[in-house]
Amino acid sequence: MFGDYSIGELGSIFVMQGFAGLILFSVYVLMALGLAIIFGQMGVINMAHGEFMILGAYVTWMTSNLFQSYLPGLFSGYFFLAMMLAFLASGALGMLVEWGLIRHLYKRPLDTLLATWGLSLILQQAYRSVFGAREVGVELPQWMLGSLKVTDSIEVPINGIFVMGLTVSITCAVAYVIYKSRWGRQVRAVVQNRIMAGAVGINTEKVDRYTFGLGCGIAGVAGSAFTMIGSTGPTSGQLYIVDTFLVVVFGGAASLLGTIASAFSISQTQSTLEFFTSGSMAKVLTLLAVVGILMLRPQGLFALKVRK
Amino acid sequence: MIITSRFFNRSELIGFVALALVLVVILPLSLDVFRLNLVAKYLTYAFVAIGLVLCWGYGGILSLGQGVFFGLGGYCMAMFLKLEASSVENTKIQSTPGIPDFMDWNQITALPLFWQPFHSLTFTVLAIILVPGLFALIIGTAMFKRRVGGTYFAIITQAVAAILTILIVGQQGYTGGINGMTDLRTLKGWDIRPDHAKIILYFFEVFLLFGCIFIAQFIRLTKLGRILVAMREQEDRVRFSGYSVANFKIFAFCMAAIFAAIGGAMFALNVGFMSPSFVGIVPSIEMVIYTAVGGRMSIFGAVWGALLVNFAKTGLSESFPQLWLFGLGALFIAVVLAFPNGLSGIWADYVQPRIDRLLALRKSKSGSPWAGNSVADGAPAE
């Protein structure tokens, strides 16, 4: 396996594959953050999460097209506006879905899984009808193209660095909102004891709605970031949903740190293995390892102790 | 609720007779062989749906990986049929005669070791039951002994489905890859492709289906079935009463896996091929929806659910391919939100009372004051 490469080459391979893994890690973290908020805090399994992400991706695509035709001078900065629009669109749809569908099913978590799967089918078909079945790609502004040469054998792409920076800042923002803000305190209070939280005057229904909206909104931002490293099709979201769920479950639901740690270990394992075996075997081995570890440690890497 | 001493109570007997009439008499008489073969294909999903009634409806364990067991059963059967179809005379043109064509395309020159035993039909039939059963036993033991349940279990079974699909697609030389195993011809020298064979296979499948219905009904009526329901409603109380909750869950999960595997094997026989597109996450969730539509608490409902959803799917996707996904999605949401007990729930809530009232009315007219007090079809108190 390692025999054909010299030590120096192996080092470069690990750095480059490690960096490729870091980009995968960023997408996983962005998707898993929203899912961890929704699943960890509310116990709802949102199978349509990938479709919320794809909505963000399509919004980004539309914004970039708009800028290209009407505001070509500002094209280099379109991405920041697109990201905000993606957040708002996915968040608004999320709140609508919570109001129309999810709130009736809080007592039946397994049924939310089926209902949101139905929702994801409807959304997929809607995307196919509106945007067409073909995958669309976003044109990147000039400054995001190209790559940074670190040493002779190591190169890192700029859009990857940008996605990673974005991931770090969004993660920090979410951590701040959940752990420091007044609203985050309310969310955590509702998670720990819904009845008591209601008794001390927290509007639990409103907290639920905004939590779901926030989770979906972050998925939208993830979709926005996704456009920079891959093309978007109606079913792109479904490809990631199981991986993302495993990230959340592996990290331990309701633990932000666990989600990040598990996204990191899963993505790094996968991209490093990918170089040495085929892509499909890398995926199989990674998933098997995750399932195996989950069998030994069902509560995940970082478990939050909550009284039932 | 009193357990009736009879095997079926009155309304179940009606359900059984109705189903038997439709499957054995009406459908074979009214459909041509092509459509009957389609029904046979749909009925293979009914096996899975019956297993899910036991495991999900009664035991409360939602498995989103039934496609794995359906696939394992189907692949076991397909391996036997494929070996028979790749005899030395049939495969003379290959560079290595006597091995399946896809192995030859992938530069494999000898039959792999795990293919060898599938020359024997006895072994194959045993493998169809045992391989998925043991696999379910391992997953179930690892999960339930550690008290992993509910949503976590659902997600992990889904991951298993994903793993198996990627593995089958990736290991093309050993499994036939994304195309699966095609061109299955004979079973012990008996051609499975002509029309009369399709009809015989259909009746054989219906026979097996009724066997599975009887087994499921038997489990439901014994104390085992009661414990499964108790476990679903209040797991802790059952555990504190001294029952090993994990073992009952493992049992229900294994039964569901074996039923699914029988369905898969019949699929390979009836349809004549097996591919990874029946293993993955999407087909697995569709199998759950058959059960949900039919009624997760009703064995007969599950069969109807599998038939009706598939008829609707074929009909809609033939004439309005755009609408089909909208319809399926809406069906999911409607069933979950409005009719958690599916068709059988609608039957038990709206149709059955009217029939009872009508019968009671006629009986009282003819002189015997008899009130319809039949127990609804095991409708749960959700």
Residue B73: pLDDT over 80? yes
Chain B closest CA to A52's CA: distance in Å?
A: 16
Percent of chain B scoring above 70 in pLDDT: 94
Taking the C-alpha atoms of residue A216 and residue A71, their distance in angstroms, rounded to an integer, is 29
Q: Which of B64, B167, B281 sits opposite A284 (nearest CB)?
A: B167
Alpha carbon distances (Å) from A106 to A39, A113, B338: 11, 11, 15
Termini Cα distance of chain B:
16
Residue B178 tokens, joined? 């994304």
- Render each residue's pLDDT in chain A as its tens digit; 308 residues: 555 667 777 777 777 777 777 877 888 888 888 888 888 777 788 889 999 999 999 999 998 888 888 877 777 778 888 889 999 999 999 999 999 888 888 888 778 888 898 899 899 989 988 888 888 877 777 777 777 776 666 677 787 788 888 888 988 998 898 888 998 888 888 888 888 888 998 888 888 899 899 999 999 998 888 887 778 888 888 878 888 888 888 887 667 888 888 888 888 888 878 777 777 788 888 888 888 888 777 777 776 555 44
Determine contact: B147 vs chain A, CB below 8 A.
yes
Q: Which of A118, A249, A287 sits opposite B152 (nearest CB)?
A: A249
- Pinpoint the alpha helices (H) of A42-139: 42, 49-70, 78-100, 109-131
ipTM: 0.81
Determine contact: A97 vs chain B, CB below 8 A.
no
B291 neighbourhood in chain A, CB within 8 Å:
none
Chain A closest CA to B206's CA: distance in Å?
A: 29
Residue B377: pLDDT over 50? no
Contact A29, A263 (CB under 8 A): yes
Q: Which of B282, B322, B329 sits opposite A119 (nearest CB)?
A: B329
Nearest CA in chain A to B164: A284
- Beta-bridged to residue B107, according to DSSP, are none
Nearest CA in chain A to B156: A291
Residue A197 within any structural domain of the chain:
yes
Contact B333 A125 (CB under 8 A): no
Q: Which of A249, A280, A283 sits opposite B155 (nearest CB)?
A: A249
C-alpha B303 chain-centroid distance:
9
Contact B169 A104 (CB under 8 A): no
A229, burial (CB in 10 Å: exposed 0-12, middle 13-18, buried 19+): middle
Alpha carbon distances (Å) from B163 to A251, A279, B244: 19, 13, 30
Residue B150: pLDDT over 80? no
Cα R_g (chain A), whole angstroms = 20
Determine contact: A263 vs chain B, CB below 8 A.
no
B340 neighbourhood in chain A, CB within 8 Å:
108, 111
A124 neighbourhood in chain B, CB within 8 Å:
325
Candidates A238, A295, A296, partner chain B, best to mutate (most B CBs within 10 A): A295
A43-57, B204-218, B298-312, B315-329: range with lowest mean pLDDT: B315-329
Residue A79 within any structural domain of the chain:
yes
Q: Give the residue from B216, B209, B205, B208 showing the smallest Cα distance to B297.
A: B216
Residue A20 within any structural domain of the chain:
no
Tens of pLDDT, residue by residue over B76-86, are 999 999 988 88
Residue A7 within any structural domain of the chain:
no
Q: Which of B158, B166, B336 sits opposite A280 (nearest CB)?
A: B166
Q: Give the residue from B139, B122, B121, B149 showing the smallest Cα distance to B56.
A: B149
Tell me the three state secondary structure of residue A156.
strand
Residue A184 within any structural domain of the chain:
yes
Determine contact: B112 vs chain A, CB below 8 A.
no
At residue B248, what is the residue type?
F
Q: Which of B158, B325, B328 sits opposite A242 (nearest CB)?
A: B158
Taking the C-alpha atoms of residue A164 and residue B357, their distance in angstroms, rounded to an integer, is 68
Taking the C-alpha atoms of residue A190 and residue A188, their distance in angstroms, rounded to an integer, is 5
Range of the domain at A66: 31-240
Determine contact: A125 vs chain B, CB below 8 A.
yes
Q: DSSP E strands: which ranges in chain A?
A: 147-149, 155-157
Chain A closest CA to B165's CA: distance in Å?
A: 9
Residue A144 within any structural domain of the chain:
yes
Determine contact: A6 vs chain B, CB below 8 A.
no
**Residue A20: per-residue pLDDT:** 73
Chain A closest CA to B72's CA: distance in Å?
A: 17
Determine contact: B333 vs chain A, CB below 8 A.
yes
Contact B322 A125 (CB under 8 A): yes
Taking the C-alpha atoms of residue B142 and residue B136, their distance in angstroms, rounded to an integer, is 10
Q: How many domains does chain A have?
A: 1
**Residue B369: per-residue pLDDT:** 45
Residue A257 within any structural domain of the chain:
no
Tens of pLDDT, residue by residue over B31-54, are 888 889 999 999 999 999 999 999
Residue A10 within any structural domain of the chain:
no
Contact A33, A170 (CB under 8 A): yes
